[in-house]
Amino acid sequence: MKVAATLLALAGSAVAFTPASKLSTSSTQLAAKPFSDALGAMPPLGLFDPLGLVADGNQERFDLLRERELKHGRVAMLAVTGYLTTAAGIRFPGAENIPDGLKAFPALMETSDGRNVLYQMAAFFVVAEIINRDAHWLDKEPAEFVGDYRNGALDFGWDKFDDATKMKKRTIELNQGRAAMMGIWGLVTHEMMGVSILPGGYLPGH
C-alpha cells in the first residue's frame, strides 16, 4: 500500500513539473481523436473506446455501434423497471402466484397459460424489433439522429424543443441506458449468487 502511494505521489510530482506546452499538446491530441466531441463522450473518460473500434473515424461503424448501444440501453431500462416492479410484488391479474426474478420463466413453462404468455412475449419482441427502426422506405423526413424511430408518426412535443434541450434529453437517455445495462446485469448476477442488493435484503426468486 505504501509503495503504491509513493508511486502515485511521484507520478503527481512528475505531472506538476511537466512543461505546460506538453500538457497542452496532450490535451489537444486527446480532443483531436475521432468522435471525441460526439454525444456521450463525457468527462472523465471522454470517448471510451479501449478496443479502438472507431479509432479510424469510420462514421458508418460509429453510427451502427451507437444505434446498438441505444437499443440495448432502452431494452435494459425496461428490464430494470420490470425486474423491480415484480420484486415489489406487483403482478398482472392471474399471475399472482408467478415468482419474480429468473424463476418466473420455469414457472411459466409449467402451465399452458404460462407458455402462452411466453409465446406472446416472443411475438412482442419480434414485432418490436421490426418496427423499431428508421423506416426509410416511407415518404417522410429522414431520421433526425441515430436511434430516431419516430418515422413521422410519434412526436410527443419533440419538435418544439430547442437544440440544447434536445441534446440534453438525448444525453440523459444515453447515460440512463448505460446505467440500466449495468444495473440489470448486476441484479441478475446477484440473484444467481444468492446475494441481495435490494432494500430490506429481499432476494427475487428465493
Distance between CA atoms of residues 124 and 2, nearest Å = 57
* Grid cell at residue 105: 420463466
pLDDT at position 153, please? 78
Instruction: Give 96: exposed, middle or buried? Use CB within 10 Å, 0-12, 13-18, 19+.
Output: exposed
pLDDT at position 139, please? 63
Task: Provide the residue-wise pLDDT of the chain in tens; the chain has 206 residues.
Answer: 444 444 444 444 443 444 444 434 444 454 568 999 999 998 888 999 999 999 999 999 999 999 999 999 999 999 999 999 999 999 988 888 999 999 999 999 999 999 999 999 999 999 998 888 877 777 677 788 999 888 777 778 888 999 999 999 999 999 999 999 999 999 999 999 999 999 999 999 88
pTM exceeding 0.75? yes
Distance between CA atoms of residues 136 and 138, nearest Å = 5
Of 3, 206, 198, the C-alpha closest to 85 is: 198
Q: Is 88 helix (H, G, I), strand (E, B) or coil?
A: coil
**C-beta separation of 94 from 195 below 8 A:** no
Of 61, 75, 31, 36, the C-alpha closest to 173 is: 75
**C-beta separation of 76 from 84 below 8 A:** no
Q: Which long-range contacts (CB under 8 A, 24 or more apart) does 42-45 make?
A: 42/171, 42/175
